[in-house]
Amino acid sequence: MKISKIASLCKRNKHLDTYVDRNGQQWIGNGVAMYCVQGITPMKENDLLSIFEVPERQRDFWTCSELGPMDGPLSEIDFQDEVQDDTVLVHGILSLNWRDKTYWLLQNENEIFAINRDYATPLIDEPDYLTYHKRPTKEGFVIAVKSGLFLKAIIAPAILHNTEAFMQEIQGVSALYARMALAPSMRFFDGFFKNIEENKENSEDEDSGYQQESL
């Protein structure tokens, strides 16, 4: 696990969440993704901010939380390695570029989802093959990332918004999927278009495109 990459993601959002699970493992997050950092003694937020080289004068502009297992959004997320309702997602070879960001497309038999590629960067040195899983929560779902049999990260999926430019982009990607025979039909994009319609009335900015959902 690249803690320097986690630090970069936290600095981007000026957000730091810390959580120690029942096995004594330290989790660090930025409000969108949380990562299991092994091999370190669990630390408080001020210690982590010092490691992240955040000056004292800037810390007042950060949102920091030391979370317990039943605090806020964590009360809805299962941090066990194995969860019965997990659904395996396939990480395809295509990605979606939107507003200077790259989103990975993850799919199961009936749906397709997207995560910001940046949130996978802390995991690049994991020794085992990474797998992605749709993990249900009380209000929706998150993407659970495992290295081998062990849970390494929880990432919130990207939320879609109904904009003309974005629709053109996703339709182009879906057509490419079909031409390359990577999906037997357009049903893999049903989830995309369903989410677009559900978020149509909730979009405040016509040019917002993707917005990452917070944990």
Q: What are 66's strand-pairing partners? A: 18
Give which of 113, 154, 159 is closest to 27, Cα–Cα. Answer: 154
The rounded Cα 175 to chain-centroid distance in angstroms is: 25
* Residue-level pLDDT, tens digit, the chain, 215 residues: 788 999 999 999 999 999 888 888 899 999 899 999 988 888 989 999 999 999 999 999 999 988 876 555 566 788 889 889 999 998 866 677 767 778 888 888 777 788 888 999 999 887 678 999 999 888 788 999 999 899 999 998 887 554 555 556 555 555 555 444 444 333 444 444 444 444 444 444 433 344 566 55
126-133 contacts at long range (C-beta below 8 A, 24 or more positions apart): 126/1, 126/152, 130/91, 131/88, 132/88, 132/89, 132/90, 132/91, 132/106, 133/83, 133/86, 133/87, 133/88, 133/89
Residue whose token pair is 């010092």: 50
**C-alpha–C-alpha distance, residues 161 and 203, integer Å:** 6
Full strand arrangement of the beta sheet holding 141-147: 63-67, 15-20, 26-29, 33-37, 150-155, 141-147, 130-136, 87-98, 101-107, 112-116
pTM (predicted TM-score) = 0.77
Q: What are residue 183's DSSP bridge partners?
A: none
Alpha helices (H) along 42-163 = 45-51
Q: How far is CA 49 from CA 60, 74, 150, 212, in A?
A: 12, 21, 27, 23
